[in-house]
A and B are shown apart, each in its own frame.
Chain A
Amino acid sequence: MISLVKFENHNAYKGKSRYPYSMSIIDLTTTKKPDSALRLKILGKIGEQKPYNCFNCIRCTSGCPSMKMLELKPHEVVSLAKLGFVEELIASGVAWACATCLKCKERCPQAVAPVDLIFALRNLAVEKEAKVPESFLRSLSAILETGFIQKPQDTVTRKLEKVNREKLDLPRFREPDDKFKAAFFKVLELSQE
């Protein structure tokens, strides 16, 4: 909490024992120093949006469905990224608690878009080979393999009759050709540079 002293001294927080930073990421930030290089990197990833415009009105957090369920606080993510606690944000895994309902992006009076920052954090977590929910990487390998996240699945009717595309008179499903796979692989390599 040493590094957040500036906020504690702010008039709004003076004399109050609790201030809006109470998530586990804080514990991670107590002994760390902000990382300005990573801060620039993460802010560079989100293009047109401007986290520095955030004035902590907490409108994003008040409408966030993941706040109710998983204590995701978008305004906190924005503040910590601005301060340069990017590595800590990644280590805490909060970015994966977002349901991408986009309400924060829609309702922010300052066009900050916390959800864009959350996607940038996820991308950076993958880049830095941090802990990432495996299924996200599986989607990527499925696309490399078949062009889609999955092949056509067998399913059942309400009467438990097994059906597939053919039985339902739907045309055969076509995967993209091998040229796609080669091109997509190149794109993935390119974006790593």
Chain B
Amino acid sequence: MTAVQEAVTEAPAVEAVPKRAMTLGTGSSLIMLALLIMAPLFVKNFIIFQLTMLLIYGLAVLALNILTGGSGQFSLGQSAFYAVGAYTSAILIEHAGMNYALTLPIAGVICFAFGFLFGQPALRLSGVYLALATFALATAMPQLLKLGYFEHWTGGVQGLVVTKPDAPFGLPISQDMWLYYFTLVITIAIYIFSVNLLKSRSGRAFMAIRDNEIAASAMGIDVALYKTLAFGVSAGITGVAGGLGAIAVQFVAPDGYTITLAISLFLGMVVGGVGWLPGSIVGSAFIIFVPNIAEGISKGLSGAVFGVLLFLVIFLVPHGARQVAMVAQHLFGKLKKR
């Protein structure tokens, strides 16, 4: 390798996505919202639980999407932030007797700080190095959680059991349904926050860094600050998702947060379309329902199915669900004209 590399000819880390192409129009957003509100009224409790998990993983994928699609950085270590969020909520609920809803912002803040600090060295790292550092983080996380020092708090290998909250104010709905609507409200709040974040000054800074770091810094963007900020925001949202996940599953244990989870979230982002925020929910549906089907055929098959599908997506629809949605929209437009 020559000491001086041609930066100009180098492919960008992530393909550029225009800001307008990142979200849904008002009409489709409202239809989506109506569907999400109506859905649990017609199904059984177990399916409501799965829908809740769909929203939770959707949040985690959304967080990764902000980081990768927004600022062009990679993370294979989202499972670590998810784990920290889950443990924060679980420990606060079980040891400090705190209300479950209050633990979520705390989980978010702690994960934001953790992500911001981990992002500090990430400033120096780009592309593959960042992927490597976060890969190491995800691999090491379960061992850190099992450590003897923290066993009093984390419950060691056994993990912690979390009590499921009842619906407040004596509302006549089941626990599962309450949790679903609770999650839905938080998801919508975070989604709106993310859309506005990407439209704001900071969001434009993220995208400028994604498309060309050197040009961005020449325009006066504090590259170091915005890169760590993107990392922190992403980790914070993942932490909230982790906290919600702990409450929904009612259980946290180190082996629930292995590299497999990080791979799933990464896969969800690629399938949903990098940089297309609504795609997060598509990606999340993918990582929840595909393993169910695959494991039904043979145990241990889900990894292979994930991998093969990931390759198919890379080769056939590199823009994931966004591409599919755009093709559908195009066809729909043609039909209308006739």
Partners in one complex: no
